[in-house]
Structure 1
Amino acid sequence: MVVQIIIILLLAIIIGLFINFAFIDGVLQAPFADAFVDFCEKVLQLDYFAAQNAYNVLFQQNKPLWLAIGFIVLLLIIFYIALSRFTRYFHQISTSITMLADESDKEIQLPEELDFLEKKLNDVKNKLEKRARDAQEAEQRKNDLVVYLAHDIKTPLTSIIGYLSLLDEARDMPIEQKEKYVAITLEKSNRLEQLINEFFDITRFNLQSIVLEKDLIPLNYMLMQVADEFYPLLAPKGQKAVVKIDEEINIYADGHKLARVFNNILKNAIAYSDSNSTIEISAKSENNQTYISFTNTGKTIPPEKLNMIFEKFYRLDNARSTQTGGAGLGLAISNEIVQAHGGTITAASNNGKTVFTVMIPTNS
């Protein structure tokens, strides 16, 4: 646009100079003067000398004025052209923003001069479309999960009612049998409590706001404590959790929320690790950033699933039963907690080894 305006200005100057040197002081001066004098004599009824005097006064003595008038006229024309183009640009931009608001499927197209803006608007459009798709998919996963949980709740609840009914009806049953029924009822009650808690997690997820209460945390001790607490889950499959840290690391973070992150990652690693395997927990600090890694051996996670593993309500186990997985919120919540600390959480899976890496600023 600026280049076009400069070109038009140069043309205006050239035209103005051409008029001056051609019609007033140049090769066309005599024909132009004769035509003007003839016009004055025939139309304005002036005599020849008066007409020639009028020509001298109007043109020969006022050359700068005529140049200025011609230049102003040309400037007005240029201004009108530029204003028209800007008005058209604003209209096209307004139409493009309306397309964004209306979530139109059409690609946004702008004139070549606005190519940079076209790319940015299309980038925004693509991001909004992706967010809408992700939200829709998450909502669908949530609805599916609620249906599955509701179905699975019936199983332990039916068992609880059945065994309690037997205990109520046969009050004189043998002690051994009664103890067996009570143990089964307790086990089913714990499972029912777990499923109900998952319902509460689903409800709370969109309502929670993460507020950090930071303090200086000895990371070595914290990770060893997390590993020890999971011994009851590790032992049945012959698994082990080993902490390997070569240096003493202290980080400034929210200990309770960070422990929840590590618990979620370790719980996920246990669920998807091979029996009799070792889950390795390591950490290192460099450039004011601390990296904590959880490495487990098991099935390789496909890339398409790995990209979605931190999305809410997404579960690696797509089976209908919820026995092997929760509401699909653990890693999503972990991701939000880590991001609230100004860090990142990533996952990589190759050749049967899966590594979750948490990066936390050491002194954030």
Structure 2
Amino acid sequence: MKAKSMKWVKTAALFGAVLVLCYGIFYFGDYILNGSFVDWFQDNYVWTHTEPQDTSGLTMTISEINWPKFKMLILELFCLGALLSAALAAGAARFYGKKMSTRTISGAGRMIHSFMEHDIDADMVFPTEYAEIAVQMTQIKTKMERNARIMKEEEARKNDMITYLAHDLKTPLTSIIGYLSLLDEARDMPALQREKYTTIVFEKSLLLERLIQEFFDITRYNLNQIILEKETLDLSYMLVQMADEFYPILQKWKNSIDLDVGEGITVYGDTVKLARVFQNILKNAAAYSYPESVIRVKAEKDDKEVRVTIENAGKTIPKEKLPVLFDKFYRADEARQGNTGGAGLGLAIAKEIVVLHGGSITADSKNEKTTFLVSLPQI
């Protein structure tokens, strides 16, 4: 109510100021300048002429307004007044609009700050006229809270993974120290037994190296930004070469790779990064495959994309766990059995690289068959 009264007072004051200004101009021209306005008007817009009188023979001076010229003066003054009024109205509207805009922005800023800082509903902070802003801020706040929750969960998984890896480091290290101590103390140990202990130390050393590498993967993932160096590459040759490289790893459990890859399948991408994608997927397939089973790799293309499927026979992944397979630091607890589990970064890194190439990666698991599908744009 008070604000409305002040608005009327300001309007009345504006009209009063305009009237005073007009009267001041008239007073200045007619009194201060000694009637110069009247003289100017008479010289320009009044006709003066003499007419003889019928009876006396005298002449009479008659003054009358030059109406055609006076009408043009009125038109010019009207146009000038209209222009001045429009200019004043535009200036006032601009000033008022700027003032109201500043006030609106300041008010909206205070409301947004209050809404973001406190756990309250949007309709308790934003009035009805701010309904659209309320909806948008609710969406932004929900997204920020979801991202914060994801980051917190990711950090918790990362800390758990570091704890697990630190614990796992003790096992091979203890074995290495123990067997080396035996080899050092028993210099006359039979050659066959010495060879057995040396082999065990070597295997435990490899395990220790892998665990240390996982520590590096955890730190590098957050420190390094993946930058692509693209070129045209022969995907068929890459997959054949990779199958050969995995032969020693697969022989431990008598697994094998069945390749169904045509010749001349090319993509435009980063050779090193895409090789890491398929290495990570194949490592995952090798780690979770049943012994003596076959890992099937198939590549095909059409006019739009190249599709690579990697299928392994192993324990079915529960449906509810499929969406989080590509989350950073995700690894099911049972994956730790047999030292098959890594730091939970392999599939997350693979997905990030594939997405940067404009492609997609998905996983499906049913009937003890797990299939990864990588789709890349066709060049």
- TM-based fold match above 0.5: yes
1:248 is aligned to 2:248: no
Instruction: Give the SS at the match of 1:356.
Output: strand
Q: Is the 8 A contact 2:255 2:292 kept in 1?
A: yes
CA distance in 2, matches of 1:306, 1:107: 34
The change in CA–CA distance for 1:226 and 1:98 in structure 2 (over 3 A counts) is: farther
1:208 Cα offset (Å) = 0.9
Aligned-residue offset at 1:361: 2.1
* Matching residue of 1:208: 224
- Who is 1:108 aligned against? 122
Question: Match of 1:332?
Answer: 348
1:77-88 → structure 2 map (5 Å cutoff): 87=103
Separation (CA, whole Å) in 1 of partners of 2:101 and 2:244: 71
- The 5-angstrom pairing of residues 49-68 of structure 1 reads none
Map of 1:5-84 to 2, 5 A cutoff?
Answer: none
Is 1:99 aligned to 2:115, yes or no? yes
- Map of 1:165-314 to 2, 5 A cutoff? 165-246=181-262, 248-314=264-330
- Matches of residues 115-126 of structure 1 in structure 2 within 5 Å? 115-126=131-142
- 1:23-68 Cα offsets, whole Å, 9 max, x none, are xxxxxxxxxxxxxxxxxxxxxxxxxxxxxxxxxxxxxxxxxxxxxx
Is 2:374 the counterpart of 1:361? no
1:350 and 1:96 mapped to 2: Cα distance?
48
Task: Tell me the SS of whatever aligns to 1:130.
Answer: helix
Residue of structure 1 in register with 2:358 after alignment = 342
Q: Who wins on radius of gyration, i.e. which is larger?
A: 2
Do the aligned residues in 2 keep the contact of 1:343 with 1:361 (CA within 8 Å)?
yes
Q: In structure 1, what is the Cα distance between the partners aligned to 2:314 and 2:134? A: 46
Structure 1 gap segments, 5+ residues each: 1-75
What is the aligned residue count? 289
SS in 2 for 1:359: strand
Q: Provide the identity percentage.
A: 51
Cα distance change on mapping 1:179 and 1:237 into 2, 3 Å = closer
Which moves more between the two structures, 169-178 or 293-302?
A: 293-302
Summarize deviations over 1:301-321 as a string: whole Å, max 9, x none: 223321111111111344666
CA distance 1:142–1:271, change in 2 (3 Å) = same
Contact between 1:152 and 1:321, CA under 8 Å: does it hold in 2? no
Change (3 A) 1:150 1:283: same
Give 2:159's aligned residue: 143
Identify if the C-alpha distance between structure 1 residues 201 and 116 changes in structure 2 by more than 3 Å, giving closer, same or farther.
same
> Shift of residue 139 of structure 1?
1.0
Looking at structure 1, the residues matched to 254 and 191 of structure 2 have their Cα atoms a distance apart, in angstroms, of 33
| Greater Cα offset, 313-322 or 228-237 | 313-322
List gaps (5 residues or longer) in structure 2: 1-91
Report what 1:66 is aligned to.
none
Amino acid at match of 1:145: M
Q: Which moved more, 1:318-327 or 1:181-190?
A: 318-327
Distance 1:280 1:114, change over 3 A: farther
Structure 1 residue 161 corresponds to structure 2 residue 177: yes
Q: CA separation of 1:234/1:322 partners in 2, compared to 1, >3 Å: closer, same or farther?
A: closer
CA change 1:236–1:164 in 2 (3 A) is closer
